[in-house]
A and B are shown apart, each in its own frame.
Chain A
Amino acid sequence: MADVRFIDEVCSIPGGEAIRSCIQCGMCTGSCPTASRWDYPPRQAIAMVRAGLRDELLSSNSMWFCASCYTCTVRCPRDIKPTDIMHVLEVLAIRNGLSTKRSRTPVMYQCFVDSAKGNGRVYELGMMLKFFLRTNPFAALKLAPVGLRLLLHRRLPLKPSRIKGIGELKAIMDKARALGGAK
């Protein structure tokens, strides 16, 4: 069912507001290196925001295939920054518990964020292990040779590194959460 407030929701998050200027030219989809994988490629995703197809879009795999290459952003003739809009759609999907299970990217991002927040620095090995345990431990077997090579080349430390000001960082993030979402 169409939700006419969807576009306001997108516009309320920094980076989302330019969506109103889209002329549906398709430059974003034509420029996207992963568009063939999206349920709804970038141009169509933008059209769906304006048509109010909220849950259908937010529960799709679309924006999770954005690799943040910014090619669409530098080519867009209306300067609407489609990359930023995809990030806004990701934020809304997570905030509303709609992020799809058909893409493993939302879980990976969450593991990354937990690691960054927990230690103040990302602990790559821990983040990778957590990601595979939460998605598909068998997929880890396929990538095990990559991890092993990184380990043998001293590029995957076994111990996390933690900042001294972790309490300070926690205070900042707690306050941010108390303030609610970005305005």
Chain B
Amino acid sequence: MKHYSYFPGCSTEATASPLGLSVLPVAKELDMELIELEDWNCCGSSPYGSVDKLEATCIAARNLALAEKTGLDLVTPCSNCFVTLHGANVHLKEYPALKEQVGKALAAAGLDYKGGVRVRDLAEVLYSDITPEAIRAKVTKPLKGLRVAPYYGCQLVRPDGFDDPEFPHSLDELVASLGADVVPWQLKAHCCGSSLVMPEPEVALELINKLLRNAQENGAQCLATPCPLCQINLDAYQSQVNSRFKTKYNLPVLFLTQLVGVALGIKPDALGLSRNIVSPMRVLAPYL
């Protein structure tokens, strides 16, 4: 059994609830103990760092300080939480003046952060610690014949990812370990527009359209991604893309952990499959 401190991230309680639901049973099957970080708060995400640098580092650092007490690696299933918490960690190391300011702010709540936490993305942990080989050995429902396009998005692999920043392969290996056919596609680590989908929908819809078209043209029956923002953009906004660009996509977009869960034989309810906007039930039927 491997133990980790677990940082779910705000979206796993709401727009990415299928991710929040599916992580837990999958971790259990893979002998990982994810101990939820007591009273964690929002990581601050990209918007905070664009409004106030010091406050952004402080809101992230409260989590780092809480995690340091556990002595465990801090694992998050959200690519944006990963980039934010990891980025704060790096800045605290690189800028002593910033560290001093943050230290004073944390002290106002009786907290202290020495800088000893390792922040990790769950997808990286599945790949590096659990390994595709070990996952393959636990698969009870091989996804034979299912053509899956692994979608990395940006922040899992950039700027300080564990994989090649532009031509990553880790999710390909994880998807292959489930018995599925990995769809090779050019845009697998290109941007979906992230939170620009709200203030600038035209920009994001165009990027989402490119991604869905590229995945479909390469024969994908569904996509699998670890990132909440990517999943929401490609899943919940797919019908907007269809009306905007007169397309007819009907491509389910699964969270990576949902796909892993199906292959491990976990029940659909426990994986939140009914919460996906574009229903994955038809393509997954042979494996449920």
Complex Cα gap A65–B40 (Å): 30
B-contacting 9-mer, from A19-27, A49-57, A66-74: A66-74
Complex Cα gap A161–B40 (Å): 12
Known: A71-B158, A171-B109, A179-B54. A108 touches B15 (CB 8 A): no
Complex Cα gap A175–B166 (Å): 40
Residues of A within 8 A of B277 (CB): 149-150, 153
Taken residue by residue from 158 to 197, chain B's Cβ proximity to chain A (1 for < 8 Å, 0 otherwise) reads as: 1100000110000000000000000000000011011110
Tally of contacts, chain A with chain B, CB under 8 A = 224
Complex Cα gap A68–B244 (Å): 25
How many chain A residues sit at the interface, stated as a range, is: 35 or more
Instruction: For chain B, residues 186 to 224, give those with C-beta under 8 angstroms from any C-beta of chain A.
Output: 190-191, 193-196, 198-201, 203, 207
Instruction: For chain A, residues 84 to 137, give those with C-beta under 8 angstroms from any C-beta of chain B.
Output: 87-88, 90-91, 94-95, 103-105, 107-110, 112-113, 116-117, 120-122, 124-125, 128, 131, 135
Residues of A within 8 A of B11 (CB): 122, 124
Other-chain residue from A87, A146, A154, A173 in contact with B49 (beta carbon distance below 8 A): A87
With an 8 Å Cβ cutoff, the count of chain B residues facing the other chain is: 70
Complex Cα gap A117–B154 (Å): 26
Residues of A within 8 A of B237 (CB): 146
Those 6 A-B pairs whose CB atoms lie nearest each other, nearest first: A70-B158, A104-B199, A182-B53, A69-B191, A109-B47, A182-B54
Q: Can you add 5 more A-B contacts, CB < 8 Å, to A156-B14, A175-B107?
A: A87-B50, A88-B53, A122-B11, A145-B239, A176-B54
Q: Can you report 6 residue pairs joining A to B where beta carbons are below 8 Å apart?
A: A37-B203, A69-B158, A116-B42, A124-B15, A155-B15, A168-B110
